[in-house]
Amino acid sequence: MGQVAWKALFLSLFDYKTEKYVIAKNKKVGVLYRVVQLSILAYLVGWVFVVKKGYQDTDTSLQSSVITKLKGVAFTNTSELGERIWDVADYVIPPQGESVFFVMTNLIVTPNQRQATCAESASIPDALCDRDTDCLEGEAVVAGNGVKTGRCLKDRGSTRGTCEILAWCPVEKRSKPKKPLLGSAENFTVYIKNSIRFPKFKFSKMNVLATDNESYLKSCRYSQEHPYCPIFVLGNIVRWAGGDFQEMALQGGVIGIQIEWNCDLDKAPSECNPHYSFSRLDNKSAETSISSGYNFRFAKYYRDAEGVDYRTLIKAYGIRFDVMVNGKGAFFCDLVLIYLIKKSNFYRGKKYEEVK
């Protein structure tokens, strides 16, 4: 290209090109046009800004700390254990007061287990035997309690028996009480202390009433009327989650306690409140199903005067509570600019009118 052509091209860079418009002086079309324009503007202002609060910056990186503490004592009188009192150190596992805690409501105790040989439980299919060769020495019983010694133990006069095993003896008997041992746990209370913080906005709050009145926090119980009393009766939690306490206490189960903090920090801090919801997390299946309930085994280890270890095996049924906290804080910010750019189509419309 010649020098002239380059110059023309360069100059044309500073030409202002704009669409050519037709003005239709038709009132009907004009009104429709403005109505459409206004409704889109109303959508943006009304929905995106006012309802969805698009102008706010949100902080979803909530910092949360949960401390839980149970209170309550239960009395039981069984042929196996005699008269017994159960307090917090007995029935809460683990004891640390974290956001996940388990309340033991039923248990099968197998005391004085020692490393020895004994007959495997007859309820385990793999342990049934007719003769010694059915019990391969050194083989672990599938889903059982020990390792086979190679002998088949039979009751006098019977033709079938169970393999002898090396195990913690005697083995657990599979008989669950018909009624939960600690059914009175329904009246136990749990204090759930939750502090939250939105680090971006340096805003902190707690779910506990800021009061000097100590007796209030010692005697109150959470309800709709007392949203800042974080003391919950276990029976209420289970009922609010749609469960039946006595049935869950027998079989075990898992309850979720959600705490939500959705805070509009443009408003007063007193408008930033926790919202609780309760749900049953394990599937409430048929009673016969293998997958229903919640239980686990643990042992307390002792040593006798001869230095030999023995233990008490406990199969614990109970309710696990999972406290889950989530929330977001929102605050005014200069996202406005970003929205203006998105809506530039409208503003450009205005500009053009001025040019004309």
**Subset of 162-191 contacting a second copy (CB under 8 A):** 166-168, 184, 187
Site for a second copy in 201-220 (CB under 8 A): 204, 206, 208, 212, 214, 217-218
Closest CA to 186 of 103, 94, 82: 103
DSSP assigned state of 293: S
CB of 267: closest distance to a second copy in angstroms?
21
**Among 154-162, 239-247, 264-272, 304-312, the segment contacting a second copy (CB under 8 A):** 304-312
Token digits for 62? 């909530």
Site for a second copy in 102-141 (CB under 8 A): 102, 112, 115, 138, 140-141
Instruction: Answer yes or no: are the C-beta atoms of 75 and 82 closer than 8 Å.
Output: no
HSE of 264, CA atoms in CB hemisphere, 13 A: 10
**Among 31-39, 151-159, 235-243, 264-272, the segment contacting a second copy (CB under 8 A):** 31-39
Other CB atoms within 10 Å distance of the CB of residue 191: 18
> Given the complex with a second copy, which of 246 and 262 has the nearer CB atom?
262
> Given the complex with a second copy, which of 184 and 246 has the nearer CB atom?
184
**Among 150-158, 174-182, 263-271, 285-293, the segment contacting a second copy (CB under 8 A):** 285-293
Phi, psi of 89 (to 5 degrees): -65, -20
Separation between Cα atoms, residue 346 and residue 355, nearest integer Å: 15
Interface with a second copy (CB under 8 A), residue from 49, 54, 57, 97: 97
* CA 222 from centroid of its chain's CA atoms: 19
Interface with a second copy (CB under 8 A), residue from 4, 5, 13, 268: 13
> Given the complex with a second copy, which of 247 and 256 has the nearer CB atom?
256
Answer yes or no whether residue 10 interacts with a second copy by CB under 8 A: no
Interface with a second copy (CB under 8 A), residue from 1, 3, 16, 224: 16
Count of positions on this chain that bind a second copy (CB under 8 A): 107
Site for a second copy in 312-331 (CB under 8 A): 313, 320, 322, 324, 326
> Given the complex with a second copy, which of 115 and 223 has the nearer CB atom?
115
3-state SS assignment for residue 8: helix
CB of 111: closest distance to a second copy in angstroms?
8
Other CB atoms within 10 Å distance of the CB of residue 288: 6
CB of 33: closest distance to a second copy in angstroms?
5
Site for a second copy in 70-89 (CB under 8 A): 71-75, 83-85, 87-89
Residue numbering of the annotated binding site: 69-71, 189, 295-297, 315
- Sign for the CA dihedral angle at 327, 329, 335, 340 comes to positive
Phi, psi of 240 (to 5 degrees): -65, -30
Please give the angle made by the CA atoms of 61, 64 and 67, to the nearest 5 degrees: 170
Residue numbering of the annotated binding site for ATP: 69-71, 189, 295-297, 315
> Given the complex with a second copy, which of 141 and 234 has the nearer CB atom?
141
CB of 156: closest distance to a second copy in angstroms?
27
Closest CA to 190 of 327, 320, 76, 325: 320
Separation between Cα atoms, residue 92 and residue 242, nearest integer Å: 23
- Sign for the CA dihedral angle at 21, 26, 31, 33 comes to negative
Residue type, 89: A
Interface with a second copy (CB under 8 A), residue from 297, 332, 333, 347: 297
**Among 152-160, 233-241, 265-273, 276-284, the segment contacting a second copy (CB under 8 A):** 276-284
Phi, psi of 46 (to 5 degrees): -70, -50
Separation between Cα atoms, residue 302 and residue 310, nearest integer Å: 5
CB of 16: closest distance to a second copy in angstroms?
4
Answer yes or no whether residue 62 interacts with a second copy by CB under 8 A: no
Give strand ranges (E) for 182-234.
189-198, 203-206, 231-233
